[in-house]
Structure 1
Amino acid sequence: MRVLESVTEPLIEINQIAYKYQGQDDRKALDDVSLKVFPNEWVALIGHNGSGKSTLAKTINGLILPDEGTITIKGKPLKEETIWDVRRTIGMVFQNPDNQFVGSTVEDDVAFGLENQGIPREDMLQRVSQALEQVRMSEFSTKEPARLSGGQKQRVAIAGVIALRPDVIILDEATSMLDPQGRREVIETIEKIKEEENLTVISITHDIDEAANASRVLVMKQGTIIKEGTPEAIFSEGDKLIEWGLDVPFPEKLKSALAKKGVTVPEGYLTEEGLVDWLWTSSLKK
């Protein structure tokens, strides 16, 4: 679902923010970044390591405050006095789920954030059960998190966030340490919950395939946003993706290889599913 700016107020509005880490040279980690995120969007921020993606995510969640510019969440300016209100609106899932676990069992871990918010026990138990069911981890509720696979751990981390019922989930390189199966499990889980709960998703990633799930993709380089568009528009840039420090999606690589062999290929971007359909249809015509 893509939301039109003309009919919807932004959930998150970032206006000309800048940030520089102490002890660094004159280069800013974020430099004049402006961005609007609308309800029920999936926005992917992609770029090479050090491009500013994770720093931007931390400013949105109030983990760091920008040196310049403003951030507004649900119409409320982000500052020291409002950080805890903002964190009730925005949940964050990090790269390494082991760093987020605090409970001795899966259900204890999911309940941890609710306990900190003083949620009544009956309500808390219901939320924990519902969250684990949503990520398909109910049968592991009494297991130790350390005994889970990487994909299962990350799904539990997601359950801990959605139990808090935020409006926004930020995935900060949340699939980068997973194998392909674990990555698919996490993305499918997020897609399902997004539609069920009308969540807004911000995905910080260098994984082109993960970014393909977004409704809008922003490319970051040296602390600035240098390109914005649909996945189809961004991934059709071909060699420019390599210049930006990114990989070319597999369908584009295959199209390029076929074109070099004289095969006429579609001009627009194709997903892997779209590529299979095109190859199948083309073979039937021969």
Structure 2
Amino acid sequence: MKPIIELENLTFRYQKNDERPALEDVSLKVYPGEWIAIIGHNGSGKSTLAKTINGLLAPESGKVQVGEYQLTEEHLWSIRRMVGMVFQNPDNQFVGATVEDDVAFGLENQGIPREEMVIRVQEALKQVRMNEFATREPARLSGGQKQRVAIAGVVALRPDIIILDEATSMLDPEGRAEVIATIKKIKEENNLTVLSITHDIDEAANANRILVMRQGKLIDEGTPEKIFSAGPKLIELGLDLPFPERLKYSLQKRGIQVPEEYLTEEGMVEWLWTSGLNK
């Protein structure tokens, strides 16, 4: 299978005289239908990496390939039609007076005929379970609802790839769970490729593969099981651990033998129930 995104030896500086690049010699491949989580502390290059993929930032050196297109001025808009981005603060993305106006905005910019636009707006709002709010003002929605509308605006454009740039970081736990459930549903229905730039380890746990960034470099990659099993090493990088791994680590420090493999919350409950620790 050909990668849908391929980066080769990507380097980027915000200022030419910056001593340390924001991205340094980054290479990676993403395949169609994958959910990739990119994690790392602030300043590690996560968001910079995302913005080079759809041409918001031009790399100093290296190659960006999205689908059949290499990132050049000639192919920039073809790539942007393939890649939709959902940002941290949905309020910064709203331009319409109503929810349906806002979802239609990107379609208008692409010159989609009105008949098709109406259908796409309705379908997108239905997919994020916001069709009943079509005539509401975006400003009057909850944080989770606003982010779902922002996602609908991207989904209506029918991209092949969705990039979530810290899209759940401003939400409370309920809103965060709501948005992640929405993305999972849309990904499955549309066979999308998802890149999730996040500090939220529980969000990263949904990924097929996790990339770990540090000081502009890609320092590790693997399944959630592989990455989370690093335990204390993740903490040293300024990252959190999923609750089951934190619990395992605490039990281990008390001399209790715990499973070596990564456990989900359900797996941890099952292990605790059968291990005899509850007696």
**TM-score normalised by the shorter chain: which range applies?**
over 0.9
Residue 69 of structure 2 contacts residue 78 of structure 2 at CA under 8 Å; is this kept in 1? Answer: no
May I ask how many residue pairs the two structures share in their alignment?
Answer: 279
Unpaired runs of 5+ residues, structure 1, are 1-7
Confirm whether residue 184 of structure 1 aligns to residue 177 of structure 2.
yes
Cα separation, partners in 2 of 1:280 and 1:20, compared to 1, 3 Å: same
Q: Distance in 1 between matches of 2:258 and 2:176?
A: 29
Taking the aligned partners of 1:50 and 1:259, their CA distance within structure 2 comes to: 32
Task: Please give the residue correspondences for 1:61-80 in structure 2 after superposition, counting only pairs within 5 Å.
Answer: 61-80=54-73
Alignment of 1:171 with 2:183, yes or no, is no
CA distance in 2, matches of 1:90, 1:116: 15
In the alignment, structure 2 segments of 5+ residues that lack a partner are none
Q: Does 1:203 align with 2:196?
A: yes
Map 1:234-273 → 2, pairs under 5 A: 234-273=227-266
Q: CA RMSD in A?
A: 1.3
Q: Distance in 2 between matches of 1:251 and 1:276?
A: 9
Counterpart CA distance in 2 for 1:31 and 1:284 is: 47
The superposition leaves residues 198-235 of structure 1 with CA deviations (integer Å, 9 ceiling, x where unpaired) of 00000001111110000000000000100010000000
Task: Give, as a single letter, the amino acid of the residue that structure 1 aligns with 2:275.
Answer: S
Instruction: Give the TM-score of the pair, scaled to structure 1.
Output: 0.95
Q: Which amino acid aligns with 1:127?
A: R
SS in 2 for 1:81: coil
- In the TM superposition, residue 103 of structure 1 has moved relative to its aligned partner by 0.2
Query: In the aligned structure 1, how far is the partner of 2:17 from the partner of 2:237?
Result: 22
Identity rate, percent: 72
The answer (yes or no) to whether the contact 2:100–2:121 under 8 Å persists in 1 is: yes
Report Cα offsets for 1:31-70 as digits up to 9, x if no partner: 0000111000001100000000000000001101101001
Tell me the secondary structure at the aligned position of residue 202 of structure 1.
strand
Q: Tell me, in whole angstroms, the C-alpha distance in 2 between the residues paired with 1:149 and 1:23.
A: 41
Give the corresponding residue for 1:85. 78
Amino acid at match of 1:169: I
Once residues 19 and 254 of structure 2 are traced to their aligned partners in structure 1, the CA distance between those partners, rounded to angstroms, is 48
- 3-state SS of 1:245 partner: coil
The more displaced of 253-262 and 207-216 is 253-262
Match of 1:129 among 119, 122, 137: 122
Q: State the distance in 2 between where 1:251 and 1:22 align.
A: 42
